Amino acid sequence: MILSASAPDSIAACAATTRAGGLIGLPTETVYGLGADADNEAAVAQIFAAKGRPSDHPLIVHVSSQDGGMSGAAHYAAQVAPFAQQLMSAFWPGPLTLILPRRAGVGEAAAGGQGTIGLRCPAHPAAQALLRALRDTSDGKPPVWGIAAPSANRFGRVSPTTAAHVASELGPDLLILDGGPCDLGIESTIIDCTRGAPVLLRPGSIGRQQVEQACGRRLLSNEELSEQDPRGLQPPKASGTLVSHYAPVAQVRLMDAKAMQTAVDLLATVMHPGGSDTKPSIAVYARTALKSIPLSILLRRMPDDAVATAYQLFAALRSFDEAGVKLIWVETPPETPDWEGVRDRLLRASAP
């Protein structure tokens, strides 16, 4: 059931379901999440079951922006390194997830049993209204400190950016708080803060430079740190970092504009002229204008800037699946820092 976030009782209904140990679909500024009380083991187990996600893959816990997110962080984290504190001050509420050492006895199931916890303070007003309602103890209820929520898609699939996407992934029975299409469209930037230096686990809308500027430290990559780490620590398990992830059903191929034009020309020679009677089996998603596209190719222009592309990327991939194409040809995004998040998602979507 989809409830509009602006309707009077929607927040209260979602809060009641969460307090009762149920699941909800919730909007954030990045993508929609599938949420449950992060400290309720049985509720968290339902998230893994609904997604078909292996239960040792940790979930992100979302906290209220009261006190800039600090009270939520203090509940779940055993300690917050000074550079992590600076990142919270700079970017919370917002699309940044921090991996921190977990306080014993809290969020254990959400953390997949690991000694660390991923925390995020989302900026979406409906998510915050819900988180605030859950912290409310005015009529004697105990507080719910956080909502564990992975993206609300089946494991390995494209993240949902509208309430309708969530319903199509997880079924009509799920209570979904509809906060409109997500502003950003790709998942949060994840920084591991448990290894003495900030380590980028997943690129997102907040870029490297912004992170480095905010904390005055160089942002390491996972690979770099694994090589230098004298303790030989294994990088944490993160399903968003699996090579094949965020994949539509159709096969995604990345190619530059020149290769794309060559492929389109080649295709045109084997297709019937004007053969639009059959359903398209190939979608093309490109920034560069292509010449003489056969009618039987489903063409969609990729915006010229990374922010606009992130906003529509997952919906575009979903629409190609809905059109029933077998192949999605995507023009490789530019190698510039602003495109890092989009490039990362497309590389994973195109991994064999």
List contacts with ligand TXA (CB under 6 A). 28, 30-31, 33, 57-60, 97, 99, 111, 114, 116-118, 120, 122, 149-151, 187-188, 190, 236, 238-241
Residue found by looking up tokens 């991923």 in the block: 118
CB 86 within 8 A of CB 145: no
Locate 291 and state its tokens: 């010449």
Closest separation in Å from C-beta 34 to ligand TXA: 8
93 prior amide bond cis, ω within 30: yes
Closest separation in Å from C-beta 59 to Mg ion: 9
DSSP per residue, 321-332: HHHT-SEEEEEP
The neighbouring-strand residues paired with 176 are 2, 25
Judged by beta carbon, residue 143 or residue 235, the one nearer Mg ion is 235
- Considering only 74-82, 127-135, 143-151, 263-271, which stretch makes contact with Mg ion by CB under 5 A? 143-151
- From residue 179 to residue 198, the character string flagging contacts with Mg ion as x (rule: CB under 5 A) and all else as - is --------------------
Closest separation in Å from C-beta 246 to ligand TXA: 9
CB 104 within 8 A of CB 78: yes
For Mg ion, the binding residues in 84-123 under the rule CB under 5 A are: none
Closest separation in Å from C-beta 326 to ligand TXA: 26
- The binder of 160, among ligand TXA, Mg ion, none, by C-beta within 5 to 8 A per type, is none
Closest separation in Å from C-beta 240 to Mg ion: 6
Judged by beta carbon, residue 34 or residue 297, the one nearer ligand TXA is 34
Judged by beta carbon, residue 94 or residue 333, the one nearer ligand TXA is 94
Among 10, 30, 64, 151, binds Mg ion (CB under 5 A): 151
Which residues neighbour 259 within 8 Å (Cβ) at sequence distance 6 or greater? none
30 in contact with Mg ion (CB under 5 A):
no
Which residues neighbour 139 within 8 Å (Cβ) at sequence distance 6 or greater? none
- Considering only 151-159, 292-300, 316-324, 342-350, which stretch makes contact with Mg ion by CB under 5 A? 151-159
Closest separation in Å from C-beta 102 to ligand TXA: 7
- The binder of 124, among ligand TXA, Mg ion, none, by C-beta within 5 to 8 A per type, is none
Judged by beta carbon, residue 10 or residue 97, the one nearer ligand TXA is 97
Which residues neighbour 233 within 8 Å (Cβ) at sequence distance 6 or greater? 195, 226
Closest separation in Å from C-beta 76 to Mg ion: 20
Locate 320 and state its tokens: 């190609």
3 state SS of 4 = strand
For Mg ion, the binding residues in 226-255 under the rule CB under 5 A are: none
CB 34 within 8 A of CB 149: yes
Closest separation in Å from C-beta 245 to Mg ion: 7
CB 45 within 8 A of CB 55: yes
- The number of angstroms, rounded, from the C-alpha of 251 to the middle of its chain's C-alpha atoms is 20
Helix and strand counts by DSSP (H, E) for the chain: 11, 15
CB 189 within 8 A of CB 95: yes
Judged by beta carbon, residue 93 or residue 122, the one nearer ligand TXA is 122
Amino acid (one-letter) located at 63: V
Write out the residues near Mg ion by the rule CB under 5 A: 151
